[in-house]
Structure 1
Amino acid sequence: MRWLAYLVKCLLCGFVAMQAYFAIQIALWISLDPSSTAFQRAERWRICSWHWSCPVQSKWVPYDKISNNLKRAVLVSEDDIFFQHKGVRFEDMQKAWQRNQQQNQQNTQSGRQPKVALRGGSTITQQLAKNLFLSSEQNYFRKAQELVITGLLELTLSKQRLYEIYLNSVEWGEGIFGIGAATQHYYATTPGSLDREQAAALASALPAPKCFDKQQYCRRGSINYSARQEFIMENMEEVALAPYPKPGSGK
């Protein structure tokens, strides 16, 4: 049994060391911009392998240089109360899990390809945690690690900083990461110049960005981007771009 206790101690030490690494990395991002994410590196390898020349686009844009139209549109699409919650929306996670179970059961019975959901149960902070550090593999350990990293992100970084990093790292098409590369690729303009229609169109892409970019990645039952764009435009003025003031704060 001594070897088993030693193994458990090694595993615990490794787990603690990994969390410390995540915490240090996140603390550095208070003032430094992430150079890349785990998801970006995985996609770069998938697309380019060992080739030095690679059509992966990314360009950092400061938060105040990004159109409020885009900020509002992405909130409607992905996480409408991002500035109000503390990183996790457990009710939404439960609903998404139940919905996915029902959909998987229907697909199994009918033999159909799975449809792309309009919105999962993950918040923007959870998506950021996964993209920054984790693989796309789906299992309970990865989900638990995602929740730990989400907590570290929320404790360390401001909501505005989290949103800035998200907008500059999220995928917007094959090899297209961040709003700087996305606006150049789709509209040949800058993030600060996006109008409502352009912002809503880009936000509608986020649940399935590769399909939005290239038809070859679309499957039967994929997202109706036009309908999503219309929905986003109708609700853009309903979301807040900052935390609500605390009661009695006078602000």
Structure 2
Amino acid sequence: MAKSRKSKKSRKIPRINPIRFLRRWGLRFATLIVVVIVGVVVAHRWMMPPETYYMGQEEHRLGKISYRWVSIDEVAPVMARSIVAAEDANFCNHWGFDMNAIRDAIEDGGGRGASTLSQQTVKNTYLWHGRSWLRKALEALMTPLVELAWDKRRIVEVYMNVAEFDEGVFGVGAASRHYFDVAPSKLTARHAALLAAVLPDPKGRSAKNPSAWMKKRASSIMDGAATIDRDGRADCFED
């Protein structure tokens, strides 16, 4: 009995190494975050994404927004072609990053954009607006995941539903009625080109009262949409 009591007294309480503890739980937390992100992105291959962070900001600022989700099957095909022609003509030929555009942007000294439609979809759907290295890093990590989990048609569908077309007007479903008072399935080539021309600057441009520059840009987009239809660069997102 005395020997047993002595052994109990001499038993040491294990000491916790704080660095090892934090490293272990940090790794577990990071793994959980990755699993959640992957699960959400994969689920959105079929499920409609919720309203975006930027939509929430604008709703808080303006009091309300106009937003209507529509399936790509309910949108005139020329709308998708116009968006791709305006934003990312080589959309069907890359895996999320257009390396040629990136090289051109570097050679140009950063004076031109190189973001693909896939990158813009990730930013608009999951991240926030504004310039920051953290956002760009997350965008770069999530873009290949979206390309892997979704097909090209789904990327175009989500993009045209979360893009802002006027102040507080989100998605082609709301924009078609806001500007032209028609359903998205009734959009003409001219309507689609004007909507696509608005996208880089929705607060500074109007598809209803286009400037001379906007009209010229819309004509260029119409030509581009017809071109990618003819040469097969629209095949990846059309039935």
TM over 0.5: yes
State the distance in 2 between where 1:15 and 1:187 align. Answer: 47
| Alignment counterpart, residue 61 of structure 1, candidates 55, 70, 73 | 70
Contact in 2 for aligned 1:78/1:123 (Cα 8 Å): yes
Secondary structure of the residue aligned to 1:130 is: helix
Which amino acid in structure 2 is aligned with residue 145 of structure 1? L
Contact in 2 for aligned 1:174/1:213 (Cα 8 Å): no
Q: Specify whether residues 135 and 14 from structure 1 end up closer, same or farther in structure 2 by C-alpha distance, changes over 3 A only.
A: farther
Partner of 2:235: 242
Deviations 1:117-156 (A, max 9, x none): 6xx2111110011111112232223212101111111111
| Alignment counterpart, residue 48 of structure 2, candidates 33, 56, 68 | 33
Secondary structure of the residue aligned to 2:123 is: helix
Q: Counterparts of 1:19-168 in structure 2 under 5 Å?
A: 19-48=34-63, 54=64, 56-96=65-105, 99=108, 101=110, 120-168=113-161
Which amino acid in structure 2 is aligned with residue 72 of structure 1? R
Contact in 2 for aligned 1:39/1:131 (Cα 8 Å): yes
Partner of 1:201: 194
> Percent identity among equivalent residues?
29
State the distance in 1 between where 2:25 and 2:216 align. Answer: 52
Contact in 2 for aligned 1:183/1:191 (Cα 8 Å): yes
Structure 2, gaps ≥5 residues long: 1-16
Deviation at 1:184, TM superposition (A): 0.6
Give the TM-score of the pair, scaled to structure 2: 0.80
Deviation at 1:44, TM superposition (A): 1.9
Deviation at 1:227, TM superposition (A): 2.3
Which amino acid in structure 2 is aligned with residue 231 of structure 1? S
Secondary structure of the residue aligned to 1:172 is: strand
Give the TM-score of the pair, scaled to structure 1: 0.76
Deviation at 1:196, TM superposition (A): 1.2
Q: How many residues align?
A: 214
Which amino acid in structure 1 is aligned with residue 134 of structure 2? F
Structure 1, gaps ≥5 residues long: 49-53, 104-116, 215-221, 245-251
Secondary structure of the residue aligned to 1:243 is: helix
State the distance in 1 between where 2:101 and 2:114 align. Answer: 5
**The structure with more radius of gyration:** 2
Q: Specify whether residues 4 and 212 from structure 1 end up closer, same or farther in structure 2 by C-alpha distance, changes over 3 A only.
A: farther
Deviation at 1:65, TM superposition (A): 1.4
Q: Counterparts of 1:213-224 in structure 2 under 5 Å?
A: 213=206, 224=213
Deviation at 1:242, TM superposition (A): 2.0
Deviation at 1:236, TM superposition (A): 1.5
Contact in 1 for aligned 2:86/2:224 (Cα 8 Å): no
Contact in 2 for aligned 1:70/1:199 (Cα 8 Å): yes
State the distance in 1 between where 2:56 and 2:218 align. Answer: 29
